[in-house]
Amino acid sequence: MSTSADPLAALAGLPGVAESVESMRKAVDRVYGHRVMRRRSTEVSAEATLRGARGSAALSGADWALEEVRRRTDFGAEAEARVVGATLRLTAEAGQLLSIWRQSPLRVLARLHLVAAGTAVAGEVVGRPRLAGEPVDEPLVELPLPDADEVAGRLDGLSRLIIAGGSAPALVTAAVVHGELLALRPFGSYNGVVARTAERIVLINSGLDPKAVCPAEVGHAELGRAAYLAALDGYVSGTPEGMAAWIAHCGRAVELGARESMAVCEALQRGAA
């Protein structure tokens, strides 16, 4: 990441990033301009939340059909059900944490992990970053794991950037928050779903998607786990090309989430949903 006074804004100047930001904004604007949003935005938001939770769970290995997610009420049994339950709880919780995010992002992240974990299993530590020697259960991200001291330092740096604010587009900030949390895996479990929820919080809190109708999680799932992890490799590399590719990937995910909600708007307009 750049060492300039506003490193996030510096990332916005990387080749192709401005185009990704503009393309994403147009997709978001199309959803907000749909006539259904003027009178039924709450329904669109609820459906986007459900579909976002399903998409995030799919990336963490619980690729359930939407209707299965919709009908199930028991999420405490097998491992996949716990993941789906975690994503549903997180998307519901995200809206309650918006006002805290800019003042205390680390507090929000700890809360997200606590909510994701639900009832902790024996020996599991929840609601705080891991300490030296504590294990991490995140099998779908196989990057080298930073040690606890590096995690603490980088989380502090990320927190300072968020609190300071700046002129970076929402997409850039959201992508960096998402990528940094996946790279660090600061918690003992559920790092992927927490990272994607943090991305959601940034996009909503920035004013880009205030009604939460453009779920990036849907797009990340649609683009596929292989593309997701390949783009994350670019972020972790720290090269300008890799960072730009990760930001573009996140922008495309938001576009696809917006497209999903456009389809929901069209279905509502036809009276089919």
Segments of the chain with pLDDT less than 70: 1-4, 119-123, 272-273
Candidates 256, 222, 270; CA nearest to 20 is: 256
Residue 4 confidence (pLDDT): 56
List the beta bridge partners of residue 137: 189
CA distance 271 to 265: 10
pLDDT digits (tens, 9 = 90+) for 205-226: 999 999 999 999 999 999 999 9
C-alpha closest to that of 159 among 85, 106, 198: 106
Residue 264 exposed, middle or buried by CB count within 10 Å (0-12, 13-18, 19+): buried
The Cα–Cα gap between 49 and 177 comes to 20
Location of structure tokens 């935005």: 41
Q: State phi, psi for 189 to the nearest 5 degrees.
A: -160, 170
Q: What residue has token string 């491992």?
A: 79
Sign, Cα dihedral of 222, 90, 183, 144: negative
Q: What is the pLDDT of residue 3?
A: 46
Eight-class DSSP state of 134: -
Q: What is the C-alpha separation between 60 and 245, in angstroms, rounded?
A: 21
Which residues are CB-contacts of 117 (< 8 A; sequence separation ≥ 6)? Answer: 86, 124, 126, 127, 189, 190
The three-state secondary structure class of 24 is: helix
> Which one, of 152, 151, 153, lies nearest residue 183 by Cα?
151
How far, in Å, CA of 214 to CA of 74, rounded? 27
d(CA 49, CA 220): 14
- Token pair for residue 18? 């401005």
Please tell me whether residue 79 adopts helix, strand or coil conformation: helix
CB distance 224 to 213 below 8 Å: no
Tell me the helix, strand and coil percentages in the chain, rounded to 5: 65, 0, 35
Encode pLDDT of 223-252 as tens digits.
999 999 999 999 999 999 999 999 999 999
The answer to whether 65 and 230 are in contact (CB under 8 A) is no
**Helix locations, 33-78, DSSP H:** 37-59, 66-71
User: Nearest to residue 232, comparing CAs of 113, 143, 130?
Assistant: 143
Cα gap 157→49, rounded to integer Å: 30
